[in-house]
Amino acid sequence: MDAAGIRALAESAKSYFAAIDDLASTNEIQERLTEILMQNQETFDTMASLLQIMLGRTSAAKIYSLYQDPTAYNLTSSMGMAVAPPVPIEVATLSCKNSSGIQYFPEAYIPYVTTLASAFSNAAQLKVVGNIYAGNCKSLAQAFYNAYRLLIVENIYAPECTDASYLFAGCSVLERIGRLDIGTPATVAGMFKLCTALKTVPEVDTSAATDLSYMFDGSAQIKRIEGISFKSAANISSIFNQMGANVEYAYLLDLGYTDVMPDLSALTKWGTGKAENLESLRYSLVESSCDRAAAGLPNLTMRPSQTSFALLSSEDVARIIAKGYTIFPK
């Protein structure tokens, strides 16, 4: 490839990461070159030479070593770049744990990976993660644990996941999470613990989860919870600890199907403001809750905040009581 070809490649790469403002041009070029390298193995010598020129011999050697085993992707050092090289589809194990320089992890289709447990934990510079498609992944436990500079995670597709505990715990500046299509995990303990900048929690199917303890602990900026289920809940200790003061919209589904009931009084603004907020309160307490009386289950106590209780109509309260609940605002 001549100089003109290199320049053309650099120009085409500029739009590749247009959304990432602080990437150096060498990183843009590197991303495109490593992609070509993966797709055209016979051009490796030429591409490796270009990488050596642009990134230095050490980085080029590390990129080469990264792809030596197509089933393993182990990116635990910075490799002198801000953009992670593309992940081969053949990968069976993936780890960016403790990576020190990677800021952007691109979209990955990884159907052979069975666990992403701790895959990005303590990735000190990681800011943006693209879509992850991991159709056979069983564990997302601590996948992004303490990635304290992480800002955005796009969609995660892992429908076979059984463990999502502490998935985003400690992601203190995390602002946006896309769709979480992660099946029906048995545990979501600490899933959003100490996500202190997060305002919207996407819907998570927790209908099979027995452990929801500490799920939102310390995430004080949350305003919207798009939907979680208590249908199988056994351990809900500290689920809303030090976080409920800003929650206005929350679909807390299937309350009363087990004998544990979260302390709803922590959600002091639940139902206030917009009409959709009130609807989320009513649907959760009146419509979605288990009819314990009809099921022959013992009476259970609900403790909404005084503010939320005042938003319910007398008919709403009567229906809640008729379903086998004692309601005590707190």
Residue 108 structure tokens: 């990955």
Residue 114 confidence (pLDDT): 97
Residue 263 structure tokens: 């302390």
Domain-wise residue ranges, the chain = 1-68, 71-212, 247-330
Residue 64 confidence (pLDDT): 66
Longest pairwise C-alpha distance within the chain: 79
Residue 246 confidence (pLDDT): 96
Q: What is the mean pLDDT of the chain?
A: 85
Residue 75 confidence (pLDDT): 84
> pTM for this structure?
0.83
Positions in the chain whose pLDDT score sits under 70: 1-64, 77-80
Residue 44 confidence (pLDDT): 44
* Other CB atoms within 10 Å distance of the CB of residue 328: 11
Rounded Cα–Cα distance for residues 323 and 314 (Å): 14
Distance in angstroms between the alpha carbons of the first and the last residue of the chain: 72
Residue 45 confidence (pLDDT): 47
What are the beta bridge partners of residue 83? 104
Nearest to 213 by CA among 180, 243, 175, 240: 240
Q: Is 209 helix (H, G, I), strand (E, B) or coil?
A: coil
Q: How many Å separate Cα 56 from the centre of its chain? A: 35
Instruction: Give the whole-number percent of the chain exceeding pLDDT 70.
Output: 79
